[in-house]
């Protein structure tokens, strides 16, 4: 595999007020928090960022906010996925204009399975961005590209160089690409919040895109593992899994409550859904989960 970016590329959330307005100052502070937490790169907007609810102008302005907030400290990756190619091209061009470092593109829902159409989509994104392109590969309802298709796209289009692989089973899907990519790619990265990070690092992935309120913990697992402290990384990964058990059964939106609890955004509101109502037992579960990892927090 060619030399490329490695590490934890943290996905930024989209902070909204109670009326559903995107809070750009909050987004800027949130990006700074992710970097101070140790993120090796920052990404916005993807699914964790509620990108399907964002208006066109919000994405254009938010892209500039991301680059300004990062201030050259880490790479900034901009999600350009959209319902159609022309809109993805606009977002890719905007990423180039404001000085982003790469773009992340997922095929629109219901997109053709014909290779020539898939290639044309990624070629159009690459031409507009003139930056490295990450293929974001998920399962239903989005197209689940095969390992062979992903590697072929990287062979055929110079700037298509990476994949964010999330097709179930994610860990094995990463392995399928790693087995055949040779020097056709610069990186195979995973998602899923970093909960499968240990076996994925054993397989040789280049990094992970976590959308998590405990990104400093995921960074530590990555850094310790690659510094030869595998046993410590494995123990912390087990604590991370226990934390996950505490909050996964809670109502949709609890993740944003966790972000507020950690002081990285000011409101827990989701666009089109408002804020989640947590009772005393829910809150206690969140606090128990955070307590497991608090000794490892950086910010």
pLDDT (0 to 100) of residue 212: 83
3-state secondary structure 43-112: EECCHHHCHHHCCHHHHHHHHHHHHHHHCCCCCEEEECCCCCHHHHHHHHHHHHHHCCCEEEECCCCCCC
Q: Between helices 147-156 and 115-129, what is the axis angle to 10°?
A: 50
pLDDT (0 to 100) of residue 252: 85
Residue 217: phi and psi, rounded to 5, are -70, -45
pLDDT (0 to 100) of residue 57: 98
Distance of CA 53 to the CA centre of its chain: 17
CA dihedral for 145, 155, 51, 40, sign (positive or negative):
positive
pLDDT (0 to 100) of residue 1: 87
Distance of CA 217 to the CA centre of its chain: 15
- Alpha carbons 128 and 148: distance in angstroms, whole number: 25
Sketch out the chain's domains with CATH numbers: 7-211 (3.20.20.70)
Q: What is the largest CA-CA distance in the chain?
A: 55
pLDDT mean for each 10 residues of the chain (299 residues): 95 97 98 98 97 98 98 98 97 98 96 96 98 93 91 98 96 97 96 95 97 95 98 98 89 92 96 92 93 96
The model's pTM is: 0.97
Exposure string for 180-213, b = 16+ CB within 10 A, e = fewer: ebeebbbbbbbbbbbbbbbebbebebbbbbbbbb
pLDDT (0 to 100) of residue 139: 79
- Alpha carbons 144 and 258: distance in angstroms, whole number: 31
pLDDT (0 to 100) of residue 247: 82
pLDDT (0 to 100) of residue 249: 84
């Amino acid at each position: 595999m060619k030399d490329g970016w490695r590490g934890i590329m943290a996905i930024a959330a989209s902070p909204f007020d109670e009326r559903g307005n995107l809070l750009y100052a909050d987004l800027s502070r949130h990006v700074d928090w992710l970097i101070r937490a140790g993120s090796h790169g920052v990404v916005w907007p993807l699914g964790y960022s509620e990108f399907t609810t964002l208006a066109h102008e919000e994405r254009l302005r938010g892209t500039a906010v991301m680059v300004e907030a990062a201030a050259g400290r880490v790479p900034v990756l901009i999600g350009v996925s959209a319902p159609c190619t022309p809109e993805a091209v606009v977002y890719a061009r905007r990423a180039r204009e404001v000085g982003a470092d790469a773009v992340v593109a997922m095929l629109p829902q219901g997109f053709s399975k014909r290779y020539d159409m898939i290639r044309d989509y990624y070629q159009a994104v690459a031409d507009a961005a003139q930056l490295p392109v990450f293929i974001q590969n998920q399962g239903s309802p989005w197209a689940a590209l095969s390992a062979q298709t992903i590697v072929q796209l990287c062979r055929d289009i110079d700037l298509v160089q990476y994949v964010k692989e999330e097709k179930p089973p994610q860990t094995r899907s990463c392995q399928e690409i790693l087995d055949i990519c040779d020097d056709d790619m610069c990186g195979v990265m995973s998602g899923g919040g970093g909960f499968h990070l240990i076996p994925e690092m054993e397989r040789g992935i280049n990094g992970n895109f976590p959308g998590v309120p405990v990104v400093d913990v995921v960074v530590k697992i990555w850094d310790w593992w690659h510094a030869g402290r595998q046993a410590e990384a494995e123990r912390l990964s087990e604590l991370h899994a226990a934390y996950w058990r505490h909050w996964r059964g809670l109502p949709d939106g609890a993740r944003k409550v966790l972000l507020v609890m950690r002081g990285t955004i000011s409101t827990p509101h989701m666009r089109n859904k408002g804020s989640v109502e947590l009772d005393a037992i829910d809150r206690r579960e969140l606090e128990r989960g955070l307590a497991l990892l608090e000794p490892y927090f950086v910010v």
